[in-house]
């Protein structure tokens, strides 16, 4: 299974995503990056197409916001076609519209309860299956 790149600054959210992925049979490697600058360093270090099947991106990350990271990922020839799902607490219509304009697969709001995280694992599984 392809890797899943999670760009998220909250370790608890990353842990909950890992649990949700396991709950839904997603056993591929999860690569977690905690801020926008590190995400760009990852991007700049690419020399060949990475084995990444899905990027999960929070918009509210330190050092460089998620919309800028998304813009740079979309402009990079090795990552331009990798599916990206925005997974954020932001309910801003402007941010959602901007993300959708930049070509995200989905814009999902972070749930407030554990059950919600487990349920969202199914959505990520379905997106990954649909885009492979």
- Helix or strand holding residue 118 (H, E): helix 114-131
- Helix or strand holding residue 9 (H, E): none
CATH architecture type of domain 3-131: 3-Layer(aba) Sandwich (3.40)
pTM of the entire predicted model: 0.94
> How confident is the model over 83-112, as a mean pLDDT?
95
DSSP letter at 111?
P
The residue among 114, 62, 59 whose CA lies nearest residue 88 is 59
The DSSP string of 66-107 is: HHHHHHHHHHSTTTTTS-EEEEES---HHHHHHHHHTT-SEE
Q: pLDDT of 10-22, one tens digit each?
A: 999 999 999 999 9
> What CA–CA distance (Å, rounded) separates 94 from 100?
10
- SS in 3 state form for 26-41? CCCCEEEECCHHHHHH
Domain residue limits, the chain: 3-131
Percent pLDDT > 70 in the chain is 99
Helix (H, G, I), strand (E, B) or coil at 104: coil
Q: pLDDT of 27-49, one tens digit each?
A: 889 999 999 999 999 999 999 98
């Amino acid at each position: 299974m392809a890797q899943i790149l999670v760009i998220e600054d909250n370790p608890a959210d990353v842990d909950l995503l890992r649990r949700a992925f396991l709950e839904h049979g997603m056993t591929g490697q999860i690569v977690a990056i905690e801020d926008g600058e590190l995400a760009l360093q990852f991007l700049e270090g690419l020399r060949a197409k990475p084995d990444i099947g899905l990027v999960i991106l929070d918009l509210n990350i330190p050092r460089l916001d998620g919309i800028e990271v998304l813009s740079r990922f979309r402009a990079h020839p090795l990552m331009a076609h990798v599916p990206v799902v925005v997974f954020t607490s932001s309910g801003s219509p402007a941010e959602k519209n901007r993300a959708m304009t930049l070509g995200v697969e989905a814009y999902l709001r972070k749930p407030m309860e554990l059950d919600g995280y487990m349920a969202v694992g199914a959505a990520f599984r379905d997106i990954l299956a649909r885009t492979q």
